[in-house]
Structure 1
Amino acid sequence: MHGPLPHDLLWGMPRLDAAPAWVHAVLEQGQPVVVRREALAADLVAVGIRGPRRDQRYAAGLPRAAIRRRVSPEQLASVEAEGDWPALQALRQLRPLFDALGLVWGVGGSAGYQLATGLTVLHQGSDLDLILRTPQHLSRGWAAELVAELERAACRVDVQLQLPTGGLALREWAGTARQVMLKTDHGARLVSNPWQPLEACA
């Protein structure tokens, strides 16, 4: 696996002089940043910094040379989730299902952040965000069957398919629209087959 990849957590972000005060507080506490999709200079990784409130998100570039530690979503898939938040209940419910898919998967979003840092960021209404590595084409029928399985979980579960060309919401691929939204480093694109590199990058 190459990297860093979107949804990875990275430690080592240097001080950002022009950032809001809450960003300074987060970085001073040694909290990680999350890799996001954006094309930056080769020596930078596009990252987002999350604050204690949902509206506190700050985009920045992390120098690759400054990275001290990296945790990927798949490294968190087997971490035992302590606590009774619905998102962690759902993770425990779904782990056997995802282990049986034959694909690499992991935990992102707030649940992944909490598992990686030990900080309590989940609440009773938190969704569970899962990452599924899908290098090969998956049928829309297969996607619809997996979405149906997710409806039995303890909370809403959002799965992001990670393709060679970008990121795609499982629920969107399971739908009936002819075109779907593919998130790439150069912005979102409407495509009919997101596994086709020429179409995705056109």
Structure 2
Amino acid sequence: MRADDEFLPHDLLWGLTPAQLPKEAPDWVAEALSLGQPVVVRRALTASDQVPVGVRGVLREQRFATLMPRALVERCVRPEALIDIEICAQDWPALQALNYLRPLLKASGLVWGVSGSAGFELASGLPTLHQQSDLDLILRVPQALSRRQANGLLLQLDNPFCRVDLQLQTPLGAVALAEWAGTAQRVLLKQASGVQLVLDPWNALERVA
């Protein structure tokens, strides 16, 4: 990878090893990295030569935030690169939902991708899904999506297999589709600097305290 490559939240990166972990890292973190699994880019402010990442463990509560030297990145897979990968994986509900929704999302003409447990398993081949797993998706929306459009999309994501959690990725951060489709005036926008309540996730001038 080039040192100037831009890495986005939810990208999966390979190359971090136990040797780069801080001393306070739990044992399971080193074990996970020893298997050669990727780490997930997260939102945080860091030095330019570092990438903020998270390590996944076997258990749901096993999540560890750390930093990865940018120079060590060997491979990067983005959520949108995973939309056409097919795996059986015991036909988990999340993958059934993905197959069910794929034609709809492709027809939208928008750039979307698979994140969360489903994305991790599709990219790495490591078993992370289970019967109760949600399907996590991202939608890149550089231009504003109206709340009416958001509500229509939310209704279209309804499926007989599992819950779908879709995050809208705006130029300013990320907001949950379900929240933007709702009736609350202000919504939570996730940014590298933290979470803020905003009136419009696409307009920096309309942020509120």
TM-score relative to the length of structure 1? 0.96
Contact 1:81/1:92 (<8 A) preserved: no
What residue number does 2:150 align with?
A: 143
Do residues 194 (structure 1) and 201 (structure 2) align?
yes
Rounded Cα–Cα distance in structure 2 between residues aligned with 1:198 and 1:94: 35
Q: What is the match of residue 172 of structure 2?
A: 165
Write out aligned runs for 1:32-111 (5 A): 32-83=38-89, 84-111=91-118
One-letter code of the match for 1:70? C
Cα offset, 1:152, TM superposition: 2.3
The 3 A distance-change label for structure 1 pair 51 and 184 is: same
Determine helix, strand or coil for the equivalent of 2:101: helix
Measured after TM superposition, the shift of residue 10 of structure 1 is: 0.2
Whole-Å Cα distance in 2 between the matches of residues 39 and 192 of structure 1?
23
Q: Percent identity?
A: 58
Point out the more displaced range, 147-156 or 137-146: 147-156
Kept in 1, the 8 Å contact 2:110–2:141? The answer is yes
Q: 2:40, 2:53 within 8 Å by CA — same for their partners in 1?
A: yes
Query: 1-side partners of 2:43 and 2:83: how far apart?
Result: 22
CA RMSD of aligned residues (A): 1.4
Partner of 1:180: 187
Equivalent-residue separation in structure 2 for 1:95 and 1:200 (angstroms): 34
Q: Distance in 1 between matches of 2:97 and 2:160?
A: 5
Q: Which residue of structure 1 aligns with residue 28 of structure 2?
A: 22
Partner SS for 1:146: helix
Residues 1:7 and 2:14 are matched in the alignment: no
* Structure 2 stretches lacking a partner, 5+ long: none
Paired residues, number: 201
Deviation at 1:17, TM superposition (A): 4.3
Secondary structure, aligned partner of 2:200: coil
Per-residue deviation at 1:197?
2.5
* Amino acid aligned to 1:7: H
Structure 1 unpaired stretches of 5+: none
After superposition, the C-alpha distances for 1:31-90 in whole angstroms (9 at most, x for unaligned) are 100000001111111100010001110000111101000000000011113231000000
Write out per-residue CA displacement over residues 102-161 of structure 1, whole angstroms, 9 at most, x where no aligned residue: 111000000000000111110000000001000000010111111111122410000011
Secondary structure at the aligned position of 2:154 is classed as helix
Question: Does the alignment pair 1:128 with 2:147?
Answer: no
Give, in angstroms, the shift of residue 200 of structure 1: 4.8
Structure 2 CA distance for partners of 1:197 and 1:97, relative to 1, 3 Å: same
Partner Cα distance (2:160, 2:41) in 1: 27
CA distance in 1, matches of 2:62, 2:44: 19
Q: Which residue of 2 aligns with 1:154?
A: 161
Partners of 1:176 and 1:139 in 2: CA distance: 12
